[in-house]
Amino acid sequence: MNAQRIISAVVGIAAGLLVAFVFFGDFGNEDTATSADNKSKAEKVFVPYGELDDYYMLASGGHSGQLFVYGVPSMRKIRTVPVFTPDPATGYGYDKESKEMLGDYTWGDFHHPAVSETEGDYDGEFLFANDVGNNRVAAVDLGIFHTVDIMDLPNMGGPHAGVFLTSNTEYIALPTRFARPLGGEYASLDKYEEEYKGVVSMTTFDKKKKEFDLAFQIVLPPWSYDLSDAGKKDSSDWIVMTTYNTEFATTNLEINASQNDRDYIVMINWKKLEKAVADGKYDDVNGAKMVDPRDVKGAIYAVPVAKSPHGVDVTPDGTRFIASGKLAPLMTVFSFEKAFDAIEKGDFDDEKFGIPILPYEDVMEREVDPPGALGPLHTQFDDKGHAYNTMFISSEVVKWKVDTGEVIDRKPSYYSPGHASAAEGDTVDPDGKWLVALNKIAKDNFLSVGPSHPESMDLYDISGEEMEHIMAAPVDPEPHYAQIIHRDKIKPKKLYEKDEDRPNSVWSVDDAHIERKGDEVHVYGVALRSRFVFDAKAERPDAVTVKQGDKVFFHMTNIDLDQDITHGFGINDYNLNFEVQPGQTSTLEFVADKAGTYPIYCTNFCSALHQEMSGYLLVEPK
Ligand code: K7E
Ligand code: CUA
């Protein structure tokens, strides 16, 4: 395609978007839905008082860096769980532990949540998250809905294409989006092909210690890796990743990275690489074990695919992977079995950058091209062999049969969906009940809040032959992806268990005390309804006096072992606030550099005498 054709394609896409707005703009209002329809829809999502939603939807918060928890089908927002960004509402990023976890970062760009899996099914124990903005991976403990570990990843350039998990959470994998010299070293863009690299981080997570480890990294050509998935069942040793910019464009990617009619899906055998690393076949690169899959026989292949694909999703039975065209208006179904046959026969077209290219015709099973459907981005699945594709440009969800490519139903979305998420949709055993389209544009769906509208999520009932659009719900920017997991699989704790051996913890009012070590002041305090006790023996147990310049540690334990009795802890004028949940011990560490008198108060409403839950920090001038 020459530049002119590309420009006209881009103009065409923009025009398509406009047409989609005008065309679909009238759907879902009272002209098209009768009040009986509306009543039946309302009944499907109404959760009577005292009952609970069937599913948790765990949605990425995009560049808010947070995790959004919704209930499905009510679409009520339940919680924001801070992951990559400080959050005063929960004290995350203020208490010592979470502050150290975040380091100097004040934002993250979280795209793809993934719940830990056992045999290809969500086990509901942990959720993993990628940070495209600052090259990190995080783990949220779904027992306490709290971020428990964050690891910085060396050698990366924005791990957009993760996280995805292998079937037993052996690896949490994160491929890079932007090619970059290893370690982010300086290298002229003229040296792009030689010096810039793509990298996949293969991380492991110890569920007991709640800690990540970087097992190894895979070095790749400087293509952009967009999305990826792990195989399932017979294909579970493999990972597949879409690529764009195989043109090696270094400027104006909109045009220059869309020149080739075909990009590639890269197939990697992670088992072979794991073994190679165990055998010592790696280089140490900035603390990472870097393996080149081209040096390991049978570890890497590529299959051509229609230009600039976006999503790639493995079917629940693990037999196929489906690429969504983005710029090509079609979904391509590839067969793992056919790929394995081609590999066995040694039937390679060509080599690119030392990677054997499998012939498209030999691996491709079919192209699915619903007339007028434009901009396919992502695929989800149900329990009856159907795939559901979001169409960004024609603003719809298309339901089709994976086995035959037959299109079963199409329903508009409001508007421009990115990902969709189906109930248990990434597992070997999807539920086929609900689908939520995560839209990029809300237009006039909600009360206006000015020039920038909220993003929007559409809920569809997918239990019947035809999809039924039920409702739209607003959401903060920006849920790229979400997973919907049955509530029975998540076992939230009611309390932090009492543990007398926990460092810095104090479990009775009488034991609260203060220790001074040089210019460090350690307060071992308790919070309970409705007071703070810092020093049981002091005349005023709820006041602490320090000297200007002292380093102060408030080690606070909440000894109210009743669920939901959370105490906050704010210090006037010191820009500090954190919390202790029932049974939790947290530490606040700061330098008392301002002399004066500073009220301390509980920031989380906890009892009728919550206003009385206060004290003083007194800082004597030097
Ligand atoms: Cu928004 Cu998964 Cu980052 Cu597609 S990605 S839309
Ligand atoms: Cu403790 Cu309010």
Tell me 414's DSSP state.
S
Q: Which atom of ligand 2 is nearest to the CA of 565?
A: 1
Q: Which atom of ligand 2 is nearest to the CA of 610?
A: 2
Please tell me the CATH code under which domain 509-620 is placed: 2.60.40.420
Q: Which atom of ligand 2 is nearest to the CA of 567?
A: 1
- Looking at residue 349, its pLDDT comes to 76
- Looking at residue 260, its pLDDT comes to 84
Percent of the chain with pLDDT over 70: 95
Q: How many helices (H) and strands (E) does the chain have?
A: 8, 43
Reported as a pLDDT band with limits 50, 70 and 90, residue 14 is: very low
Cβ atoms 322, 315 nearer than 8 A: yes
Top-confidence residue, 115 or 246: 115
Among 527, 316, 352, residue whose Cα is nearest residue 428:
316
Tell me the C-alpha distance between 162 and 202, whole Å.
10
Q: Report the residue count for the chain.
A: 622
Tell me 230's DSSP state.
E
Report whether pLDDT(184) > 80. Answer: yes
Which of 177, 310, 380, 393 is the best mutation target for the ligand 1 pocket, counting ligand atoms within 8 Å of the beta carbon and taking the most? 310
- Looking at residue 618, its pLDDT comes to 98
Tell me 62's DSSP state.
B
- Looking at residue 32, its pLDDT comes to 55
Lowest mean pLDDT among 24-33, 256-265, 299-308: 24-33
Top-confidence residue, 11 or 286: 286
Q: Is 451 exposed, middle or buried (0-12, 13-18, 19+ CB in 10 A)?
A: exposed
Residue 569 Cα to ligand 2 midpoint, Å, equals 8
State the ligand closest to the CA atom of 604.
2
606 lines ligand 2 (CB under 6 A): yes
Tell me the C-alpha distance between 192 and 190, whole Å.
6
Looking at ligand 1, which residue's alpha carbon is closest to its atom 3?
A: 111
State the ligand closest to the CA atom of 375.
1
Residue 609 Cα to ligand 1 midpoint, Å, equals 47
Which of 312, 327, 480, 483 is the best mutation target for the ligand 1 pocket, counting ligand atoms within 8 Å of the beta carbon and taking the most? 480
Report whether pLDDT(489) > 90. Answer: yes
- pLDDT (mean) for 492-502: 97
Report whether pLDDT(31) > 80. Answer: no
- Looking at residue 246, its pLDDT comes to 87
- Looking at residue 24, its pLDDT comes to 45
Which of 63, 109, 110, 111 is the best mutation target for the ligand 1 pocket, counting ligand atoms within 8 Å of the beta carbon and taking the most? 111
Q: Which atom of ligand 1 is nearest to the CA of 378?
A: 4
Count CB-CB contacts under 10 A for residue 522: 18
Tell me the C-alpha distance between 532 and 164, whole Å.
44
Cβ atoms 307, 258 nearer than 8 A: yes
Cβ atoms 467, 460 nearer than 8 A: yes
- Looking at residue 6, its pLDDT comes to 42
Residues of the chain with CATH 2.130.10.10: 9-489
> Strands 520-528 and 551-558, how do they pair?
parallel
Residue 88 Cα to ligand 2 midpoint, Å, equals 15
- Looking at residue 255, its pLDDT comes to 86
- Looking at residue 23, its pLDDT comes to 43
Q: Which atom of ligand 1 is nearest to the CA of 132?
A: 3
Residue 597 Cα to ligand 2 midpoint, Å, equals 21
- pLDDT (mean) for 12-32: 45
564 lines ligand 2 (CB under 6 A): no
Lowest mean pLDDT among 5-14, 89-98, 438-447: 5-14
State the ligand closest to the CA atom of 131.
1
Top-confidence residue, 351 or 489: 489
Q: For 64-68, which contacts have Cβ atoms below 8 Å and span 24 or more sequence positions? A: 64/110, 64/476, 64/477, 64/478, 65/107, 65/108, 65/109, 65/110, 65/131, 65/133, 66/110, 67/110, 67/113, 67/127, 67/129, 67/140, 68/475, 68/476, 68/479, 68/482
Superfamily in which the 9-489 domain is placed by CATH: YVTN repeat-like/Quinoprotein amine dehydrogenase (2.130.10.10)
Provide the strand spans (E) within 85-179: 114-118, 121-131, 136-141, 146-152, 164-165, 172-175
Mean pLDDT, the chain, as a whole number? 94
Residue 581 Cα to ligand 2 midpoint, Å, equals 11
Report whether pLDDT(19) > 70. Answer: no
Residues of the chain with CATH 2.60.40.420: 509-620
Residue 417 Cα to ligand 1 midpoint, Å, equals 10
CA angle (386 as vertex; 384, 392 as ends), nearest 5: 150
Residue 510 Cα to ligand 2 midpoint, Å, equals 20
State the ligand closest to the CA atom of 114.
1
State the ligand closest to the CA atom of 130.
1
Lowest mean pLDDT among 405-409, 436-440, 449-453, 508-512: 449-453
Report whether pLDDT(27) > 80. Answer: no
Reported as a pLDDT band with limits 50, 70 and 90, residue 9 is: very low
DSSP states of 15-52:
HHHHHHHHHHTTTTSTTTS-HHHHHHHHHHH---TT--
Looking at ligand 2, which residue's alpha carbon is closest to its atom 1?
A: 567
610 lines ligand 2 (CB under 6 A): yes
- Looking at residue 548, its pLDDT comes to 98
In this structure, the residues whose C-beta lies within 6 A of any atom of ligand 1 are 111-112, 160, 227, 310, 377-378, 418-419, 480-481
pLDDT digits (tens, 9 = 90+) for 549-571: 999 999 999 999 999 999 999 99
326 lines ligand 2 (CB under 6 A): no
603 lines ligand 2 (CB under 6 A): no
- pLDDT (mean) for 328-352: 93
Cβ atoms 578, 588 nearer than 8 A: yes
305 lines ligand 2 (CB under 6 A): no
Residue 226 Cα to ligand 1 midpoint, Å, equals 9
State the ligand closest to the CA atom of 609.
2
Buried b (16+ CB within 10 A) or exposed e, 88-111: bebbbbbbbbbbebbeebeebbbb
Residue 112 Cα to ligand 1 midpoint, Å, equals 8
Report whether pLDDT(28) > 90. Answer: no
Reported as a pLDDT band with limits 50, 70 and 90, residue 3 is: very low
Looking at ligand 1, which residue's alpha carbon is closest to its atom 2?
A: 480
State the ligand closest to the CA atom of 564.
2
- pLDDT (mean) for 480-507: 97
228 lines ligand 2 (CB under 6 A): no
Q: Which atom of ligand 2 is nearest to the CA of 566?
A: 1
Among 409, 417, 411, residue whose Cα is nearest residue 443:
417
**Six-digit token string for 344:** 């066995």
Reported as a pLDDT band with limits 50, 70 and 90, residue 33 is: low
Report whether pLDDT(581) > 60. Answer: yes
The three-state secondary structure class of 561 is: coil
Looking at ligand 1, which residue's alpha carbon is closest to its atom 6?
A: 418
Q: Which atom of ligand 2 is nearest to the CA of 601?
A: 2
Q: What is the arrangement of strands in the sheet containing 300-306, beginning at the earlier edge strand? A: 224-230, 238-244, 262-269, 300-306, 355-357, 350-352
pLDDT digits (tens, 9 = 90+) for 293-322: 999 999 999 999 998 899 999 999 999 999
State the ligand closest to the CA atom of 529.
2
- pLDDT (mean) for 329-358: 94
